[in-house]
Amino acid sequence: MEQQTEKTQVVILGGGITGLAATLYLAQQGVDFILIEKHKGTSIHPRSRTIDVRTMELFRAIGLSEDLREGGKSLAPAWGIIRGNNMIEALQNPVGKITPSQLIEAQKEMKSFAEKSPETVCRCTQDISEAIIYKTAQKQGLDLRFYQEMLSFNPRENEVEILVKNRETNKQYTIIADYMIAADGANSLVRKQLNVPISGNGSWTNLLNIYFEADLELLVKGREFSQFLIDTPEITGFLLAINNKNKWAFHVRFYPENGETIASYPEEKLISILRHVLGIPDIKISILKVLPWQLTVTIASQMLIKRIFLAGDAAHTMTPYAGKGANTGIQDVQNLAWKLGAVLKHGSNDSLLDTYHMERQPVGAYYAKLSGQLADKNGLINSVLMVTKAKDLMGLPDYGYDSPAVKREAHLPFTYFTGQAGTRIPHLWLNDSHTLSSLDWIRGQFVLIANGNKSWQIETAQVQQQLNINIQLITLNNENLLNNWKKLSHTTQDEALLIRPDDFVAAKLTSGNLLEVMQSILFRKI
């Protein structure tokens, strides 16, 4: 029987949070794709628990931010770190607890920094966030193929050939795609088979992630915490709140170098450890899942290899201590999606895709290294350093992109949230109720924000016609709004800001050069 062959523009390998997010951002750009995931469904393990400010901005643009806040509302009160010989003791005498107010006090600029975005940090575990994204993609009728496994891939000059097996029927078929996104995790098979060099600390401390049920709701109510750290001669590890009720995760240090395996931790031993950690000798505990893992920092030397893009953990593996693993992955694919859309739908030269690595890997590498620094000698989070890095952990994009996909006025140090080319568009509330932000103008498209000069309308229409790409024109005529915007964006009456579909400022313009700038950042010639 002849093997079936299908064609698409992009194959996404991996149906975790990075791959699932890629489906929504590619769909936003009108790009055809097929997602392949070897498991039957989304994650059943909570994994990451924090969606940072920048990622919430991205989810806001596709209408998911409120759904995610609702999904994580039971975890939302869980902030701060406590230490002790057991949880009960630490709750009664919370020495060393770090609360949000203390973080803000330690970093005096935190309040003004938080005002730079319409969004705030969201607590939502990955099992819930993945399910929400998956359901959204399903409702849009997107091509999600779970329980199907990539057997091999072959990148060619103008395409990638992927051999896939349906794990339910055992039938094999081939997909021919223009590009592939490898969102296949920290142990990325694609990265390894492509022999991509990596740097970073590698792997060190080993831990067991024990996901369990125990009814602690009444004990922690009004005294919620994010982490409880224990470091005694008997046990070293950290307890994480999952829903502040009956679901928790304890990460205990264990020692494969001494011959220990998961088998060294039978259920009765795990329950004994957990009762000791909680300080409740007779509490009922049910073990849900046990997963071994290592603190790991690896950074791929390239994120684009032979028409294949590495994204998320496949490109930059990090410890969970900065809370940036899932966040950087989502930000990666949102950056990539509009560039793939420009190449596949609007005739841009594929040199534009080289800017994906230029722009995203410095960000991923920074957070990967920071995540390693936040691990102390025993594998616990360094809460003192966490206070000094509190601003970074919020995840507001205080970084700039210096690539050919940006038209910078001069290569001077970046000043963030000021309208400078290469930085994220400044946030300005557009109404008194603070429900509409300047970021809401973008939503995955090119936008030209013009300071009241109507001549931009003719120029925008001409560029759209010549380049066959939509540019949304925002002409600011309201005097109060215009004055506030000019002050915030450091623009004059005769200037306009061109914003890329990923919310970053492409250029500051004066009338007459929009076509030239668009051709430059899109690698287009007429």
User: Mean pLDDT over all residues of the chain?
Assistant: 93
Contact 123, 76 (CB under 8 A): yes
Stretch among 37-51, 204-218, 263-277, 377-391 having the lowest mean pLDDT = 377-391
The pLDDT confidence band at residue 388, using thresholds 50, 70 and 90, is: confident
**Residue whose tokens read 């005529």:** 477
Where are the CATH 3.50.50.60 domain residues in the chain?
4-72+122-198+300-394
- 224-278: per-residue pLDDT in tens? 999 999 999 999 999 999 999 999 999 999 999 999 999 999 999 999 999 999 9
User: CA-to-CA distance for 421 and 506, rounded, in angstroms?
Assistant: 5
pLDDT tier at 101 (50, 70, 90 boundaries)? low
CATH of 4-72+122-198+300-394, one of 3.40.50.300, 3.50.50.60, 3.30.160.620, 3.40.50.720: 3.50.50.60
**Angle separating helix axes 456-467 and 514-522, nearest 10 degrees:** 40
pLDDT beyond 80 at 112: no
Q: Which CATH number fits domain 400-526: 3.40.50.2000, 3.30.2320.80, 3.40.30.120, 3.40.640.10?
A: 3.40.30.120
Does 97 have pLDDT greater than 70?
no
- Whether the pLDDT of residue 94 is over 80: the answer is no
Q: What is the pLDDT of residue 48?
A: 93
Q: How many whole angstroms separate alpha carbon 122 and alpha carbon 88?
A: 27
Q: What is the mean pLDDT of residues 117-131?
A: 96
What is the pLDDT confidence band of residue 102, given thresholds at 50, 70 and 90? low
What distance in Å separates the CA atoms of residue 114 and residue 75, rounded to the nearest whole number?
Answer: 21
Work out the pLDDT band at 217, boundaries 50, 70, 90.
very high
Higher pLDDT, 455 or 403: 403
Rounded to 5 degrees, φ, ψ at 419 are: 85, 10
Among 242-251, 331-340, 428-437, 510-519, where is mean pLDDT lowest? 510-519
Question: Are the CB atoms for 60 and 436 separated by under 8 Å?
Answer: no
Angstrom distance (rounded) from CA 126 to CA 391: 23
Edge-to-edge strand list for the sheet holding 471-475:
471-475, 446-450, 495-499, 505-510
Of all residues in the chain, the percent with pLDDT exceeding 70 is 96
Query: Taking Cα atoms as reference points, which of 267, 331, 275 lies closest to residue 55?
Result: 331
pLDDT of residue 519: 96
Indicate the DSSP class of residue 143: -
Helix %, strand %, coil % of the chain (to 5): 35, 25, 40
Query: What does the pLDDT average to over 113-117?
Result: 87
Which residue from 89, 103, 55, 82 is spatially nearest to 381, judged by alpha carbons?
A: 82
Start and end residues for every CATH 3.40.30.120 domain found in the chain: 400-526
The token pair at 417 is 């949230």
- Per-residue pLDDT, 113: 76
pLDDT exceeding 90 applies to what percent of the chain? Answer: 87
Gap between the Cα atoms of 331 and 309, Å rounded: 14
Q: Answer whether residue 108 shows pLDDT above 70.
A: no
Cβ neighbours around 288 below 10 Å, total: 14
Residue 105, pLDDT > 60, answer: no
- CB within 8 Å of 243: residues ≥ 6 apart: 74, 75, 125
d(CA 507, CA 514): 9
In angstroms, what is the C-alpha Rg of the chain? Answer: 24
Q: Is the pLDDT of residue 219 over 80?
A: yes
CA dihedral angle for residue 507, residue 511, residue 512, residue 517, rounded to 10 degrees? 10
Which residue, 13, 57, 18, is CA-closest to 39? 13
Residue pLDDT, tens place only, 9-55: 999 999 999 999 999 999 999 999 999 999 999 999 999 999 999 99
Task: Decide if pLDDT at 1 tops 60.
Answer: no
Q: Is the pLDDT of residue 506 over 90?
A: yes
| CB burial string 210-223: b at 16+ within 10 A, e below | bbbebebeebbeee
Whole-number Å distance between alpha carbons of 488 and 345: 34
What sign for the dihedral angle of Cα 210, 296, 188, 126? positive
Model pLDDT, residue 33: 98
